[in-house]
Amino acid sequence: MKKKLLILAAFLLSLAFGIGIAYKFPNGYFKILADTGAVSWKFDVVSCVIMTLISFVLLWLLIDIFFDKKGYKRDIVAFKKYRFFMVDLVSRDIKTKYRRSVLGVFWSVLNPLLMMLVLTAIFSRVLRIDVTNYGYWGGYPLFYLSGYVIFNFISEATNFSLVSILQASGLIKKVYMPKYIFPLEKCCYAFVNMSLSFIAFIIMFCVYLFKGDIPISTDLFKMFLVVVPMFFVFIFALGLSLFLSSAAVFFRDVLHLWSVFLSLWMYASPIIYPLDNLSPALKNVLRINPLTHYIDYFRCVLIKGELPTLEQNVMCVLFSLAALGIGLIAFRKKQDKFILYI
Amino acid sequence: MEADIAVKVEDVKMCYNMPTERVDSIKEYIVKLLRGKLHYREFVALDGVSITIKRGETVGIVGLNGSGKSTLLKIISGILKPDRGNVEINGVISPLIELGAGFDFELTTRENIFLNGSVLGFDRNFMRARYDDILDFAELRPYEDVAIKNFSSGMVARLGFAIATLVKPDILIVDEILAVGDALFQQKCEKRIAELMSGGTTVIIVSHAIEQIERLCTKVLWIDKGKQIMLGDTATVCEKYKMLGQKRGELN
């Protein structure tokens, strides 16, 4: 009862916070609006709603942790015991992925390169999108690869996790183990895949470096900041995966809907086209998409040699934490019922 | 909890909500909800079962099919969470809930031994030290690199039993598994359980072979249709249980 009251209070508090944000930043919280000049009240409302939701989820998570300190602690202790199991699962996934293929693990590097060739042919030769105008180094290939790596990670992590609980039914029904291991393991597996396809990016980066398309300066060191968006995006994908994997247990529809949603999501993110190319109104809409912020951050440090702004950092952290919060709350609420439905 | 108690189950109740029809999609769910047709038939699998098991004790659980024995074991090993009541466990559980739990049938014996170890939370070095013992006990040395899917059910049972008992758990749960192996292996298993018992391991056995329970257990719990009928020393409970069995047999 007390918990419910606290959650209600948290909601009111975050509502006030969201309205406050909209009032304090009449140009919309997302900085980009200010420089496009196309500000409408609609966007203030949207950003107010988003900020309310995010802060509400975060407060709820805090309340949840506070009320279930023992449970969270137990989960963390359990992880220590089952980490070998997780490593085993990841290595098994990698082994089965490349079973009976001649090139094996090289496919992880080769695949992005081939995709890059196809899309470069279409977008830079046929449709003539020139990204170097917007300050991205290396032209379309590097531009595409950097977006592809992030999106592919999210899509793999969620697609694998979606069925992870259902697939593990044999184990869950017979042996006790913390159930979050399964979506977490799938995210780690997708993260390994992402690191491998990042090699493709590095190869292309070196090619352009030798060609002289990338200025050799200290800006290149900012590249190492790439671990920051990678970490954020991992947390984001983990939260999403926790939510989706538990939803898929109760409603198998999610399995079918998600692939449709993913393709929509891909076109609604600046992966194959640059954000700067769009009309101001569309740009605003895309700012609502969390993925836009991650990809933007990623490209900013990798192929622009710029330091990320405070806004970029704040948005990435907030979206990651909010996704993790939603995932954790949904998963923990339902995890004891999984066994009755799988 | 006192140090000499291994398992403490207090007044546990477990209900399964069985929807009269299975609802698997959002559309069905909403349609049924709106029409008010989302009925559940409540099935009480366990009600008011309590048992305290001391360290080193061997406890048998008897009852007819569907009386809730396996549910109780699942609750003790943490797989199911009871709707009501309290379960406290002191120590490492090595569950033998069913045949082949935690095995991947595509993998070889060797890989499965390590996989099963990690399922139970033991690392590679720990398992490597016990690897030879496990193979020898299961008598599967010639089949080290054969995928488990080619094994007979007796071979899988042997492997499962070997792993679960050789990692020296604090609490060992045996569910009907002894029934699968041949007489020779059953003897070996019983010997092994006796060894574990003298080493301080708590053992919980579910079996329909009442002689086996009489041989091994110090204490027996009898449940029927989810209710606790009797809890006491082996001789008394087994005698009553056998008498009931005879009575029912005559009725049929």
Q: Name every chain A residue with its beta carbon within 8 A of the beta carbon of B78.
A: 176
- Pick from B65, B102, B81: nearest CA to B13: B81
Does the beta-carbon distance from A84 to B115 stay under 8 Å? no
pLDDT band at B21 (very low <50, low <70, confident <90, very high): low
User: Taking an 8 Å Cβ-Cβ cutoff, which residues of chain A contact chain B?
Assistant: 81-82, 84-85, 87-88, 92, 170-177, 251-253, 336, 339-340
Of B53 and A36, the structure prediction assigns the larger pLDDT to B53
pLDDT band at A187 (very low <50, low <70, confident <90, very high): very high
Distance, CA of B219 to CA of B118 (rounded, Å): 32
Q: In the prediction, which pLDDT does A150 show?
A: 95
Of A200 and B37, the structure prediction assigns the larger pLDDT to A200
Of A87, A175, A340, nearest to B95 by CB-CB distance is A175
Q: In the prediction, which pLDDT does B63 show?
A: 85
Which chain B residue has the Cα nearest residue A181? B119
pLDDT band at B23 (very low <50, low <70, confident <90, very high): low
Tell me the sheet residues that pair with B60.
B205, B220
Nearest Cα of chain B lies from the Cα of A261 at a distance, in angstroms, of 17
Distance, CA of A278 to CA of A113 (rounded, Å): 26
Q: In the prediction, which pLDDT does A33 show?
A: 45
Interface residue of A77, A95, A176, A337 to substitute, partner B, most B CBs within 10 Å: A176
% chain A with pLDDT above 90: 40
pLDDT of B120 higher than 60 = yes
Q: In the prediction, which pLDDT does A191 show?
A: 95
Averaged pLDDT score across all residues of chain A: 86
**Pairs of CB atoms within 8 A across A/B:** 58
Q: In the prediction, which pLDDT does B38 show?
A: 61
DSSP letter for each residue of A213-263 = -S--SGGGGGGGGGHHHHHHHHHHHHHHHHHHHHHHHH-THHHHHHHHHHH
| CATH 3.40.50 corresponds to the domain B1-90+217-252 | yes
Kindly report which listed range (A292-296, B15-19, B198-202) carries the lowest average pLDDT score. B15-19
Q: Name every chain A residue with its beta carbon within 8 A of the beta carbon of B117.
A: 84
pLDDT of B79 higher than 90 = no
Of A81, A84, A174, nearest to B102 by CB-CB distance is A174
pLDDT band at A34 (very low <50, low <70, confident <90, very high): very low
Distance, CA of B164 to CA of B155 (rounded, Å): 14
Does the beta-carbon distance from B95 to A174 stay under 8 Å? yes
Tell me which DSSP letter residue A307 carries: P
- Pick from B189, B125, B122, B202: nearest CA to B160: B189
Kindly report which listed range (A35-39, A160-164, A184-188, A336-340) carries the lowest average pLDDT score. A35-39
pLDDT of B4 higher than 70 = yes
Q: Name every chain B residue with its beta carbon within 8 A of the beta carbon of A175.
A: 77, 79, 95, 97, 101-102, 119-120
Q: In the prediction, which pLDDT does A180 show?
A: 93
% chain B with pLDDT above 70: 88
Nearest Cα of chain A lies from the Cα of B196 at a distance, in angstroms, of 21
Q: Which residues contact A264 (CB under 8 A, 6 or more apart)?
A: none
Q: Name every chain A residue with its beta carbon within 8 A of the beta carbon of B27.
A: 253
Of B106 and A259, the structure prediction assigns the larger pLDDT to A259
Q: Name every chain A residue with its beta carbon within 8 A of the beta carbon of B123.
A: 84
Nearest Cα of chain B lies from the Cα of A88 at a distance, in angstroms, of 7
Of A318 and B252, the structure prediction assigns the larger pLDDT to A318
Q: Name every chain B residue with its beta carbon within 8 A of the beta carbon of A252.
A: 24-25
pLDDT of A39 higher than 60 = no
Distance, CA of A133 to CA of A150 (rounded, Å): 23
Of A171 and B180, the structure prediction assigns the larger pLDDT to A171
Q: In the prediction, which pLDDT does A329 show?
A: 94
pLDDT band at B178 (very low <50, low <70, confident <90, very high): low
Average pLDDT on A274-283 reads 80
pLDDT band at A26 (very low <50, low <70, confident <90, very high): low
Which chain B residue has the Cα nearest residue A251? B25
pLDDT band at A237 (very low <50, low <70, confident <90, very high): very high
Of A4 and A33, the structure prediction assigns the larger pLDDT to A4
Distance, CA of A333 to CA of A249 (rounded, Å): 13
pLDDT of A242 higher than 80 = yes
Kindly report which listed range (A234-238, A248-252, B204-208) carries the lowest average pLDDT score. B204-208
pLDDT of A109 higher than 80 = yes
Kindly report which listed range (A5-14, B170-179, B197-206) carries the lowest average pLDDT score. B170-179
pLDDT band at B99 (very low <50, low <70, confident <90, very high): low
Interface residue of A74, A84, A253 to substitute, partner B, most B CBs within 10 Å: A84
Containing H/E element for A317? helix A310-334
Average pLDDT on A36-56 reads 74
Does the beta-carbon distance from A336 to B81 stay under 8 Å? yes
pLDDT of B100 higher than 70 = no
Q: Name every chain B residue with its beta carbon within 8 A of the beta carbon of A82.
A: 118, 121
What residue spans define the domains of chain B?
1-90+217-252
Average pLDDT on A39-46 reads 69
Q: Yes or no: say if B46 and B1 are a contact pair by the CB < 8 Å rule.
A: no
Q: What is chain A's length?
A: 342
Which chain A residue has the Cα nearest residue B119? A85
% chain A with pLDDT above 70: 94
Q: Name every chain A residue with its beta carbon within 8 A of the beta carbon of B25.
A: 251-253
pLDDT band at B180 (very low <50, low <70, confident <90, very high): low
Nearest Cα of chain A lies from the Cα of B28 at a distance, in angstroms, of 10
pLDDT band at A257 (very low <50, low <70, confident <90, very high): very high
Distance, CA of B204 to CA of B186 (rounded, Å): 16
Residue type, A62: L
Distance, CA of A135 to CA of B77 (rounded, Å): 59
User: Taking an 8 Å Cβ-Cβ cutoff, which residues of chain B contact chain A?
Assistant: 16-17, 24-27, 29, 77-81, 93, 95, 97-98, 101-102, 104, 114-115, 117-124
Does the beta-carbon distance from A171 to B102 stay under 8 Å? yes
What is the rounded end-to-end Cα distance, in angstroms, of chain B? 47
HEC string for B23-38: CCCHHHHHHHHHHCCC
Q: In the prediction, which pLDDT does A298 show?
A: 92
For residue range A316-340, what is the model confidence (pLDDT) as tens digits? 999 999 999 999 999 999 988 888 8
Which chain A residue has the Cα nearest residue B75? A176
Nearest Cα of chain B lies from the Cα of A331 at a distance, in angstroms, of 15
What residue spans define the domains of chain A?
1-67, 70-341
Distance, CA of B97 to CA of B92 (rounded, Å): 15
Q: Which of A250-264, B25-39, B188-202 has the highest mean pLDDT?
A: A250-264
Nearest Cα of chain A lies from the Cα of B206 at a distance, in angstroms, of 15
Average pLDDT on B32-56 reads 78
Max Cα–Cα distance, chain A, nearest Å: 66
Of A168 and A100, the structure prediction assigns the larger pLDDT to A168
Which chain B residue has the Cα nearest residue A82? B121
